[in-house]
Structure 1
Amino acid sequence: MKLALVIEKYDPSGGGAERSTRQIASELVGRGNDVTVFCAQCPRDLQSDGKITITRMPKSGKLTAARLSRFSQWARTQILQGDFDASISMTTTVPATIVQPRSGTAVETMQRNLAIYSPGKRMVKQLVNQLSPKKRALIKLEKQTLADPMVQAIAANSNYVARQLADHYQYPSEKVTVIPNAATLPDMSDEQRATWRKQVRDGYQIDDDTVVFVFAAMNPLLKGLGPLLIAFERMVAAGMPVVLMLAGKFQKQYADQADAYGIREQVRFVGPTNEMPKLYAASDVLVHPTFYDPSSKVVIEALMMGIPSISTSYNGASDMIVPEESPPRGMVITNPADHDALADAMITMVDPASRQTFSDATVGLAESLSMKVHVDRLVELLDQVVAKN
């Protein structure tokens, strides 16, 4: 098939939505499809990515309200005039044959971004959002997309996203198919994992008996680093043999917080990295106490590698941590701000027997959560909607 994919920003080294888009496009190309990605932003001079064609909106730049609206119109026109068999939009700002809102709905995203603040500051931020041209444009474009007859189906990457569509828009459930989020990981033997574990731990001066928790985020505040540092302080104060590895971009304030809490020696600031599989191999538990995540890529990747995970009820991937019909693979807390509940969950994970029980429950996920299976279901949905037209 000749397929169009749409995303505001195409960056193979970016966050979860960007990496997933690249992985989906690569999987589709690998099956013989002709794939073009339409985007508003991408790394400079990127015109192709392997066999994926990249087409960037002319005269693009920072995504202001005006540029978002122009991108929506431009991308929709490209799809309609490009003689494509079908199209997939990764954003609710642009309609397509199938919309797969990798970031969830704009409405829920804004509400959950407010949740990280105190009640007083939350009211101020809410007023700012209401006055923001860009925020208003996002909501307007989302409403237009969901009402556009071009959209034949929604492929939600979690039950959480499906609930957002029902709660905020009363979107017809028969047009929503849940296709759980997925990931692509490199092939690795037990020996390779053991080598990575030793290399990373030696590099950060972590001994074999230390329990390592890993946290990775592009937006540390939204993903719960504040409560995490408080919870970790309790563990360190109790004399537990633990280390917290932080991957991503972190402002100096977090190092200052670690100093103030007396935990700086137990925290390792890794910084931005494209080598998360090595960090998973070196770690014992993934901790992701997020205030909002449609379906966290890092949770999916960790579970695929057999790493028990801790997250919150505001993460669509938590369905994979505590599934309805199989044993838990970690723990889920209800309130991301509840650092005591988070500390309790992390303390449970210090016990090797508990970690092993959770890890045993992840067997088989490396295949079922693979991008191959995800794209199998996406192609099946594409075939269904194309056949109807």
Structure 2
Amino acid sequence: MAAMQQSSRPPVALFIKTFSRYGGVEQFCYRFNEFLISRGYQVTVFCGEDKTEEAAAGKPRPEVVEVGMWRPGRFLKHLSLYHKMKSRRARLPKGTVSMCFGNFAGCTIYRSGGPHLDFLGRSIRAQRNPLRRLSKMAVRFFSPINWLMPMLDLSVYPHPDTRCILAISNKVRQAVEAYFPGTKGRIAVIPNGVNTTRFNPARFAELRQDARIWYSLHEGQKAIGFCSTNFELKGLDRLIKTLTLLPPEYMLVAAGGRNHTKYIEYARSLGVHERIIFPGKVDDMPKFYAALDVFCHPSFYDTFGSVVAEALAMGVPTVTTEDVGACDLIKNGENGVVVKNPTPEELSRAILVLRSVNAGQNFNCVQDDTAVFERYLQLIERAAAGKKPAPARPDK
């Protein structure tokens, strides 16, 4: 009976640019592959580059096929991957359900992070200075990648072989339907989950004392957390200015990033540089969240925002914007606040509203990765049976 059940499972092919344990979509794909294998599915992973520890040790995983990419530059990488993945997909055995985590046309299920034109239009608002904004727009206009990606979107979203577009948030669904109206009825909304074994209120309580010491936070101080590799897009400058509107006990712990210098100078010009801690890249994220009283993600564009989900899973009340997909997880005033525009005035009001919400409680608003994987599995089985996805979740 078990053998019969296993043989009835469709083979699955996963397509991704980089196969790795690190990075948002990369880590998600890695763990989903492990999940599928644990359920007895025959899986093949096609990737542009294999950056797993196994590959680095010269012993790549048997299910992983590295197709390679042209270099240098993003344009050649994406163009070559599009054609190489198309060729690989065409040679898949009959009955294989293909799922892509990138701009690869014709896969059975396309996990979408949103159209590239939507990103270009929304993210430009991160530029405060009008001249800087015009300069950024000019650079983007003449960049080949910003012509290529919309062209790939035109071939990916309407493709007749794609039975389901998997949107990671309602924001993504809205953008896809706006740019590609013909996709309505083919979109399923499944928000990302987190590993709740790592991120949970019990871990917050366990790590709290050591975390406060580690980040040099004193009794009576309230820690606002921020974490990103892209300080500009995620609105760190607005958050720094927000400190000028908050009582002096509020401190900012700004993790990640590549260049802190201009932000330190900006904070110095506002007289709040002594209220900011820049720890750099953080390896122990649960410990980071455990040090906080509130998390703030004032991003101008984020199709989901895994840091929001992680903070909420740890029980940290969170402030974010309407342009972050994970804002769907927030109930205003209960576990966080969603602001329309990340101005210092709106951010400061939101942070002060959350003074009465204690960190470390169970908000019960984030799904575990395994529950999300189960929903992905249902999509795979429906696609294998030739069925449409379940209707998209309605707006909040």
- 1:359 is displaced (CA, Å) by 6.9
Q: Is the 8 A contact 1:3 1:85 kept in 2?
A: yes
Query: Paired residue for 1:386, among 384, 388, 392?
Result: 384
Q: Is the 8 A contact 1:129 1:135 kept in 2?
A: yes
Mapped pair 1:47 → 2:45: no
Q: Is the 8 A contact 1:29 1:35 kept in 2?
A: yes
Q: Is the 8 A contact 2:242 2:345 kept in 1?
A: yes
State the alpha-carbon separation in 2 of the partners of residues 188 and 68 from structure 1. 34
Once structures 1 and 2 are overlaid, which stretch shifts more, 163-172 or 186-195? 186-195
Q: What value does the CA root-mean-square deviation take over the aligned residues?
A: 2.6
1:355 — aligned with what? Answer: 357
Q: How does 1:197-212 map to 2 (within 5 A)?
A: 197-212=208-223
1:333 — aligned with what? Answer: 339
Mapped pair 1:298 → 2:307: yes
1:322 — aligned with what? Answer: 331
- 1:221 is displaced (CA, Å) by 0.8
Task: Provide, for residues 186-225 of structure 1, a one-character-per-residue CA deviation record: whole Å limited to 9, x for no partner.
Answer: 3578665334222221122212432111111121111111
2:293 — aligned with what? Answer: 284
SS in 2 for 1:273: coil
State the alpha-carbon separation in 2 of the partners of residues 140 and 110 from structure 1. 14
State the alpha-carbon separation in 1 of the partners of residues 16 and 278 from structure 2. 31
SS in 2 for 1:269: strand
Counterpart of 1:85, as a letter, is T
2:91 — aligned with what? Answer: 81
State the alpha-carbon separation in 1 of the partners of residues 325 and 199 from structure 2. 27
- 1:311 is displaced (CA, Å) by 0.2
Mapped pair 1:269 → 2:278: yes
- 1:321 is displaced (CA, Å) by 1.0
Q: Is the 8 A contact 2:201 2:360 kept in 1?
A: no
SS in 1 for 2:315: coil
State the alpha-carbon separation in 2 of the partners of residues 8 and 63 from structure 1. 14
Q: Is the 8 A contact 2:228 2:234 kept in 1?
A: yes
TM-score normalised according to structure 1 size = 0.87
- 1:6 is displaced (CA, Å) by 1.8
Identity score, percent? 25
- 1:18 is displaced (CA, Å) by 2.4
1:33 — aligned with what? Answer: 41
1:147 — aligned with what? Answer: 158
Once structures 1 and 2 are overlaid, which stretch shifts more, 370-379 or 193-202? 193-202
Counterpart of 2:364, as a letter, is G
- 1:115 is displaced (CA, Å) by 1.4
Task: Provide, for residues 139-191 of structure 1, a one-character-per-residue CA deviation record: whole Å limited to 9, x for no partner.
Answer: 11111111222211101011100000111121332000111121114357866
Per the alignment, do residues 370 and 74 of structure 1 end up closer, same or farther by CA in structure 2, a change over 3 Å counting? Answer: same
Once structures 1 and 2 are overlaid, which stretch shifts more, 36-45 or 283-292? 36-45
Q: How does 1:168-247 map to 2 (within 5 A)?
A: 168-187=179-198, 192-235=203-246, 238-239=247-248, 241-247=249-255
SS in 2 for 1:174: coil
Structure 2 stretches lacking a partner, 5+ long: 1-9, 388-396
Number of corresponding residues: 373
State the alpha-carbon separation in 2 of the partners of residues 44 and 365 from structure 1. 31
1:136 — aligned with what? Answer: 147
1:3 — aligned with what? Answer: 12
State the alpha-carbon separation in 2 of the partners of residues 208 and 51 from structure 1. 49
SS in 2 for 1:147: coil
Once structures 1 and 2 are overlaid, which stretch shifts more, 90-99 or 136-145? 90-99
State the alpha-carbon separation in 2 of the partners of residues 189 and 130 from structure 1. 43
State the alpha-carbon separation in 2 of the partners of residues 322 and 153 from structure 1. 29
Q: Is the 8 A contact 1:47 1:54 kept in 2?
A: no
Query: Paired residue for 2:137, among 121, 126, 138?
Result: 126
Counterpart of 2:344, as a letter, is H
SS in 1 for 2:185: helix
State the alpha-carbon separation in 1 of the partners of residues 68 and 118 from structure 2. 30
Structure 1 stretches lacking a partner, 5+ long: none
State the alpha-carbon separation in 2 of the partners of residues 158 and 343 from structure 1. 26
Q: Is the 8 A contact 1:47 1:55 kept in 2?
A: no
SS in 2 for 1:155: strand
Once structures 1 and 2 are overlaid, which stretch shifts more, 175-184 or 58-67? 58-67
TM-score normalised according to structure 2 size = 0.86
- 1:377 is displaced (CA, Å) by 1.1
Q: Is the 8 A contact 1:6 1:94 kept in 2?
A: no
1:116 — aligned with what? Answer: 126
Query: Paired residue for 2:348, among 340, 343, 346?
Result: 343
Per the alignment, do residues 258 and 46 of structure 1 end up closer, same or farther by CA in structure 2, a change over 3 Å counting? Answer: farther
Task: Provide, for residues 72-126 of structure 1, a one-character-per-residue CA deviation record: whole Å limited to 9, x for no partner.
Answer: 111122223132721111123444110011x322111111221112444333433
State the alpha-carbon separation in 1 of the partners of residues 243 and 229 from structure 2. 20
Per the alignment, do residues 93 and 59 of structure 1 end up closer, same or farther by CA in structure 2, a change over 3 Å counting? Answer: closer
Per the alignment, do residues 175 and 82 of structure 1 end up closer, same or farther by CA in structure 2, a change over 3 Å counting? Answer: same
